[in-house]
Amino acid sequence: MGTIWLAMDTQLQRHVALKLMSPRYLSSAGARQRFAQEAKAIARLHNPHVVQIYDYGIDGDAPYIVMELLEGEDFAALLALRNRLVPAAVVPLLNQVARALTAAHTAGVIHRDLKLGNLFLARIGGEEVVKVLDFGLALLDSGAEAPTQDKEPMGTPRYMSPEQLRGQPGLDHRTDLWSLGVVLYLLLTGEYPFPVHALEALRRHNMPLSFRPPSSLVPELGAETDAFFAQVFAADPAQRFSSARELAAAFSSLVLAGRPVRAAKLLVVDDEPLMAVVMQQRFREQIQQSVYEFIFASNGEEALERLRQYPDTDVVLLDLNMPKMDGLTFLSRVGEVHPLVKVIIVSAYSDMSNIRTAMNRGAFDFLVKPINFQDLKSTLEKTLKHVGEVRRMLRSTEENDLLRMFVHGGVVERVLSAVRTPPSLAGERVESTVVFIDVKDFSPVIRTEQPGTALRRLNAYFEAIVPELVFRGGVVDKFVGDAVMAVFRGQGHLGRALDGCLAARQVLQGLASRTGEQSPYAHGVSVGVDSGELLSGSIGAQALGRLDYTVLGDVVNRAAWLASIAGRDQLLIREAVRQRLDSSFECAALGTRQLPGSSVPLVVYEVVRRSMAVDTAEPTLPPRS
């Protein structure tokens, strides 16, 4: 369809990506329409996970789009490099794509060509950020007809939903969710879920599709993942996940549920033929109780291959004197294959000089032959405890990296400041705005639904609400039952807080209108906002190692109370807050309400909307340089 050039914006002195239509398509009305559609689709979206557009125009007879220049690689290159990704590595990628799709679907934009090549892992400001690219096939209104020039279904067949592949009219956002499922399946298994002939049979003869269970390709994914994809690839769109956020939240919950407890895996490397028999006899009880699982190798070369075959090995029991590759050579190379495995040397007294060399090369401990098996058991327990601590530390690091995607960076600095300062001195008084967003009438769901269903429904709300608050500088202070509390500080905190609440409400209303009254989003929310001076600091029981960083004061109490009296999708403030707003916020007086514990009635207002002049005829773009 065209080419993309590296270009220099001479006015702003920055590199950009310049997309030009191929000359052979200039005479095609359909191609020109799709090119313009791409500019309009991106211009509707203001989301950090969608490639940004700077300009659109026609130079002579040739249309062009100017976009941000990205550095990194697309998901196709990522998969080619790694073959497949572990679920924990997929979760942050999926969450970012889901945020982009939620923004698009809320704005009525259906991508129609979501695939590995249109998802880009960009390096921005020292972080990796997922960007959704190429809206050239997008529909600008959910359920709208495709351009009349498109005589055949448009898209990439291996990723297309059944309704898109058959060319059915009235596509909605669930066709993108199917494509997202194909992307997720590819990342986890390295394979497509459906063979080409099955897609052709569906298109020509309406034959039903049947996906290969991912656990048949990657057994450790398990039956739960198979069931997840059964919902993703349901033939009836109504049986699929109702939104990108719900799909991503369900997969995240699946991963966070964790793997079942497994036996500690021990690799014994020794050229003595009887060693395997002796170890299995001595640890027969631990093997039967699935405490230990043994694998064996007769030399260092074979041991390296065993580690490649069993990457979850915890401890290596290593002899030093062996044919082909001795223990010292193995130690010099084991880090290439498995940098975290711990090695215990098992050797004779006469090898003490070699043992010192082995310890210098990273061996964790040593035992002497003949083996004292009580000593061996104690050594194994100590070593496995250390392995567990290292893995917990790594999990904590991974969780912190994931957390940084959801929590505003300012809270990290404030918490670190509180940790470094004695608790009695860590408090401060700050001007802030507090937001309470409560899922309306959620208690009946808790009483009637299964626990897992109720929690997924609630988390679907939080998955939609939290990014809108965080994106505008809010810090999630806590989740209180079925409500979320967030704090906004710094310049313009009140306006940013209200913008975040209005945006979250709009996202939820858009999801509810597209997914029906039975969707997780049908409840609506009640919102209370108050602003003023707060006490901010750490509270808790330091002696028990339990501290929390939070805010306290009348502002918090009033915001919570306003949320409790708000109706469905109402955003309430008090009169003193309304007086601080500029004229762009449209408010409606609701009269007075009696605040509990106070004899003075409070004048309450509803924030209806923020008035903005929007030209919907053309994309909103900056002027050309």
Question: Rounded to an integer, what distance in angstroms lies between the CA atom of residue 110 and that of residue 168?
Answer: 14
Is 174 a residue whose pLDDT tops 80? yes
Q: What is the DSSP string of 24-58?
A: GGTT-HHHHHHHHHHHHHHHH---TTB--EEEEEE
Is residue 285 a contact partner of residue 292, using CB atoms and an 8 Å limit?
A: no
The verdict on whether omega for the bond into residue 370 sits within 30 degrees of 0, i.e. cis, is yes
Q: CA-CA distances (angstroms) from residue 157 to 86, 164, 178, 210?
A: 26, 9, 12, 16
Which pLDDT score is estimated for 349?
Answer: 58
At 186, list the tokens.
């590819």
Q: Which candidate in 113, 134, 326, 530 is catalytic? A: 113
Where is average pLDDT lowest: 339-348, 397-406, 477-486?
397-406
Q: Which of 274-288, 301-315, 386-400, 570-584 has the lowest mean pLDDT?
A: 386-400
Amino acid, res. 18 = L
What's the CA gap between 174 and 170, in Å, rounded?
A: 11
Nearest 5°: phi and psi at 490? Answer: 85, -175
Report whether CATH 3.20.20.120 matches the domain 264-400.
no
- The yes-or-no verdict on residue 148 having pLDDT over 60 is no
How much is the pLDDT for 435?
95
Q: pLDDT (tens digit, 9 = 90+) per residue, 522-552?
A: 788 999 999 999 887 656 555 554 445 677 8
- Is the Cβ–Cβ distance between 446 and 514 less than 8 Å? no
Cα separation, 139 vs 130, in Å, equals 22
Could you tell me which residue, 255 or 427, shows the higher pLDDT?
A: 255
Lowest-pLDDT range of 47-61, 117-131, 528-542: 528-542
Q: What is the pLDDT of residues 280-308, one digit of tens each?
A: 998 988 888 778 899 999 998 898 888 87
pLDDT digit string (tens) for 325-357?
888 899 888 887 777 789 998 887 556 777 778
The pLDDT tens digits of the residues spanning 449-460 come to: 777 777 877 887
**Domain 2-68 is of which CATH architecture?**
2-Layer Sandwich (3.30)
Residue 477 has pLDDT above 80, yes or no: yes
pLDDT confidence of residue 137: 82
Neighbours of 278 (CB within 10 A): 14
CA dist., res. 50 & res. 133, Å (int): 7
The CATH homologous superfamily to which domain 72-145+153-256 belongs is Transferase(Phosphotransferase) domain 1 (1.10.510.10)
Question: Can you tell me the distance from the alpha carbon of 501 to that of 250, in angstroms, rounded to the nearest whole number?
Answer: 24
Q: What is the mean pLDDT of the chain?
A: 81
Tell me how far apart the alpha carbons of residues 441 and 420 are, in angstroms, rounded to a whole number. Answer: 42
Asked if 338 and 312 touch (Cβ cutoff 8 Å), the reply is no
Backbone angles phi, psi at 119, to 5 degrees: -120, 125
Query: Which residue in 532, 583, 540 sits closest to 558, CA to CA?
Result: 532
pLDDT, average across residues 463-483: 85
Of all residues in the chain, what percent carry a pLDDT higher than 70? 85
Measured distance CA(496)–CA(502) in Å, rounded: 10
Q: What are phi and psi of 543, to 5 degrees?
A: -65, -30
Topology adopted by domain 412-610: Alpha-Beta Plaits (3.30.70)
- Identify the DSSP state of 207: P
Q: How far apart are CA 479 and CA 483, in angstroms?
A: 6
> 566: number of CA atoms within 13 Å, CB side?
30
The residues facing 68 across adjacent strands are: 16
Cβ atoms of 555 and 434 closer than 8 Å:
yes
The CB density around residue 91, as the number of other CB atoms within 10 Å, is: 20
Catalytic residue status for 113: yes
520 pLDDT band, cuts 50/70/90, is low
Which class for 282: exposed (0-12), middle (13-18), buried (19 or more C-beta within 10 A)? middle
Tell me what percent of the residues of the chain surpass a pLDDT of 90: 24
- 90's tokens: 């997929």
- Those residues with Cβ within 8 angstroms of residue 160's Cβ, 6 or more apart along the chain or in another chain: 153, 175, 178, 179, 199
| Mean pLDDT across 585-607 | 89
Least confident of 90-99, 275-284, 386-395, 429-438: 386-395
Residue 521 has pLDDT above 90, yes or no: no
Specify the pLDDT at position 135: 83
How many CA atoms within 13 Å lie on the side-chain side of 92?
16
Per-residue pLDDT band at 395 (split at 50, 70, 90): low
Q: 350 or 142: whose pLDDT is higher? A: 350
SS (H, E, C) 495-564: HHHHHHHHHHHHHHHHHHHHHCCCCCCCCCEEEEEEEEEEEEEEEEEHHHCEEEEEEECHHHHHHHHHHH
Instruction: Give residue-wise pLDDT tens across range 194-225.
Output: 888 888 888 777 777 888 899 999 888 888 89
Instruction: List all residues 6 or more positions away from 37 whose beta carbon is below 8 Å from its beta carbon.
Output: 135, 136, 137, 138, 140, 147
Q: Smallest Cα–Cα separation from 76: which of 85, 68, 67?
A: 85
* Residue 526 CA from chain centroid, whole number: 26
CA distances 555 to 574, 592, 616, Å, are 11, 18, 38
Domain locations in the chain as residue ranges: 2-68, 72-145+153-256, 264-400, 412-610
